[in-house]
């Protein structure tokens, strides 16, 4: 879907990276799609995954908590299963107050990458127990659905991606990290995010998230599914208490199911669903007793079949053939430098929040030059200009100041395009004509349609009298 991109401040500042990632715009062929929208996801297999997570906790001090070996062992085990099934997996490392954690992302490498359908669950437990209902259940459920999808022979129309989040129990840390580090152009491709956190509570309710108007149609697909199975359900406003919150904050449609945590089941709910009135949906919530005996397998079975229904349905959904990336989307990553030096390469130092010069927006910018001695500094980023771009442009805001006087050029900032072995200078700023207010500069990139290029900004100063070039809020658009 089309949605205005929004820049978020990332929560960590990574060191200068030398990896450049190109924006790719390939479109897979959309062949005929046979859709069985009601797969029966195996509860036997899912329970076996939960037993495996229990064993992992048992072998690692009784938990799968962030920073403890049981968490990493959980990631490694899930990754092994998905790799063997043909998924493309990525482990995304990040740090937390309790130690290093990881998100595991698994993508089925078929279908149109411009339309991504995601399901996610947090894989970490609290420190007090093995975390089998919370949230082995959601993790095992999406794992088994992913394995069944791979084995089904479905020809997906869309790109199906699963996220296993780390450090949810520390405050949704992993899912926020994922979202904050997803380039704007990629965020725009996520059509829906479905969250599963606690789906086998021992005294279960059948709750459907109702906390994101953008996700109302996915929510309705879930309630219609439950209606079709004669399973009574209730809406719940989960108050941003799980990993869909980060996706919701980007305007992405979200939905999910939940069987209840520490809250008490009412007598009306016990009439409707069975179980014990006046008791918690999960009396072992966040406790040592959240083991593989703390599960209602009927609730698990019903919820995993709902996951299967949603993944199959959304994997086959027709989102149309919007040309992607949409007009106006910024193909640059970390374009306003607010994540620090991530996504840019070059000499260390220019990307800064030093208050000696103002940012155009936020606090970070690329401050090139300003040394007052013979020196050269640069920042660069690679980007693929789609062949279908109509009027691709580079634009950026720049302000400059100098201690030089007169009309001789001593210090320069060159804005260049490196394409293959050739380097072309698109603009040169210098100590002559500096302006200590920000102005926007826009440059034509139409010579580079269909090419992966590196944009490079290089400041060169002579031996004395500083000139500072401060660049912020860059963009590459397709026109």
| Of the residues 308, 336, 350, 372, which one makes contact with Ca ion according to CB under 5 A | 336
Nearest partner of 141 among 196, 91, 90, judged by Cα = 196
290 near ligand PHE, rule: CB under 6 A: no
Binding to Ca ion (CB under 5 A) within 415-474 occurs at: 472
For residues 444, 446, 447 and 451, what is the CA-based torsion angle, rounded to 10 degrees?
A: 120
Cβ atoms of 215 and 254 closer than 8 Å: yes
The least distance separating ligand PHE from the CB of residue 306, rounded to whole angstroms, comes to 15
Under rule CB under 5 A, which residues in 362-381 are in contact with Ca ion? 362, 364-365
Q: What DSSP character marks residue 14?
A: B
The one of Ca ion, ligand PHE, Zn ion, none whose footprint includes residue 411, by CB under 5 to 8 A per kind, is none
Residues 6+ apart with CB under 8 A from 420: none
Give yes or no for a contact between 69 and 143, defined as CB atoms under 8 angstroms apart.
no
Q: How far is Cα of residue 324 from the mean position of the Cα atoms in its chain?
A: 18
Q: Which of 23, 16, 182, 5 is nearest to 105 (CA)?
A: 182
- Asked about 377 being catalytic, the answer comes back as no
CB of 340 to ligand PHE, least distance (A): 29
Residue 364 binding: pick among Zn ion, ligand PHE, Ca ion, none (C-beta 5-8 Å cut-off by kind): Ca ion
Specify the residue for token string 């430098």: 337
**Residues engaged in binding Zn ion (CB under 5 A):** 134-135, 197
According to CB under 6 A, which residues from 234 to 273 bind ligand PHE?
238, 241-242, 258, 261
Instruction: Bin 384: left if φ > 0, else alpha if -120 < ψ < 50, else beta.
Output: beta
Coil, strand, or helix at residue 110? coil
Residue 258 near which of ligand PHE, Ca ion, Zn ion, none (CB within 5-8 Å, type-dependent): ligand PHE
Per CB under 6 A, 351 contacts ligand PHE: no
Question: What span, in angstroms and rounded, lies between the C-alpha atoms of 278 and 262?
Answer: 11
359, 415, 453, 476: residue in contact with Ca ion (rule CB under 5 A): 359
Catalytic-labelled residue, pool 154, 168, 191, 461: 168
DSSP H or E run through 211: none
Residue 438 contact partner, candidates ligand PHE, Ca ion, Zn ion, none, CB within 5 to 8 A by sort of partner: none
* Residue in 50, 82, 120, 134 binding ligand PHE, rule: CB under 6 A: 134
Kindly list the catalytic residues. 168
Residues engaged in binding ligand PHE (CB under 6 A): 134-135, 168-169, 197-198, 238, 241-242, 258, 261
Q: Which residues bind Ca ion (CB under 5 A)?
A: 336-337, 359, 362, 364-365, 472
């Amino acid at each position: 879907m089309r949605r205005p991109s929004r820049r978020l401040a990332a929560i960590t500042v990574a060191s200068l990276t030398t990896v450049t990632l190109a924006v790719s715009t390939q479109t897979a062929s959309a062949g005929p799609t046979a859709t069985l929208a009601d797969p029966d996801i195996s509860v036997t297999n899912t329970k076996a995954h939960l037993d495996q997570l229990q064993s992992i906790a048992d072998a690692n001090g009784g938990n799968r908590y962030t920073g403890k070996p049981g968490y990493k062992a959980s990631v490694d085990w899930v990754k092994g299963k998905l790799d063997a099934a043909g998924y493309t997996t990525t482990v995304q490392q990040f740090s937390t107050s309790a130690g290093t954690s990881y998100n595991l992302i698994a993508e089925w490498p078929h279908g149109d990458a411009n339309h991504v359908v995601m399901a996610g669950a947090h894989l970490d437990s609290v420190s007090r127990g093995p975390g089998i209902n919370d949230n082995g259940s959601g993790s095992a459920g999406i794992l088994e659905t992913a394995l069944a999808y791979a084995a089904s022979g479905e020809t997906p129309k869309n790109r199906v991606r699963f996220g296993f989040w780390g450090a949810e129990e520390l405050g949704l840390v992993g899912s926020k990290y994922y979202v904050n580090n997803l380039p704007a152009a990629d965020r725009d491709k996520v059509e829906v995010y479905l969250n599963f956190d606690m789906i086998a509570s021992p005294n279960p309710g059948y709750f459907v998230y109702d906390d994101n108007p953008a996700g109302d149609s996915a929510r309705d697909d879930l309630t219609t599914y439950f209606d079709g199975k004669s399973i009574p359900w209730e809406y719940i406003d989960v108050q941003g208490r799980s990993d869909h919150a980060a996706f919701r904050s980007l305007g992405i449609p979200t939905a999910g199911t939940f069987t209840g945590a520490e809250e008490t089941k009412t007598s009306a709910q016990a009439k409707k669903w069975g179980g014990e009135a006046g008791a918690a949906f999960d009396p072992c919530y966040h406790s040592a007793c959240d083991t593989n005996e703390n599960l209602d397998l009927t609730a698990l079975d019903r919820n995993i079949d709902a996951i299967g229904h949603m993944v199959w349905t959304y994997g086959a959904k027709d989102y149309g053939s919007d040309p992607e990336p949409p007009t106006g989307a910024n193909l640059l990553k970390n374009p306003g430098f607010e994540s620090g030096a991530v996504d840019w390469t070059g000499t260390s130092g220019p990307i800064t929040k030093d208050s000696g010069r103002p940012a155009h927006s936020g606090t970070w910018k690329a401050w090139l030059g300003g040394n007052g001695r013979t020196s050269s500094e640069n920042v660069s980023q690679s980007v693929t200009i789609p062949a279908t771009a109509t009027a691709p442009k580079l634009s950026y805001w720049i302000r400059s100041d100098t201690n030089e006087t007169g009309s001789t050029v001593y210090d320069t900032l060159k804005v260049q395009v490196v394409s293959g072995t050739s380097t072309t200078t698109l603009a040169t700023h210098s100590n002559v004509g500096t302006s200590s207010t920000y102005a926007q500069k826009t440059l034509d990139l139409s010579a580079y349609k269909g090419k992966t290029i590196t944009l490079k900004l290089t400041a060169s100063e002579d031996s004395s009298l500083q000139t500072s070039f401060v660049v912020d809020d860059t963009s590459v658009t397709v026109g």
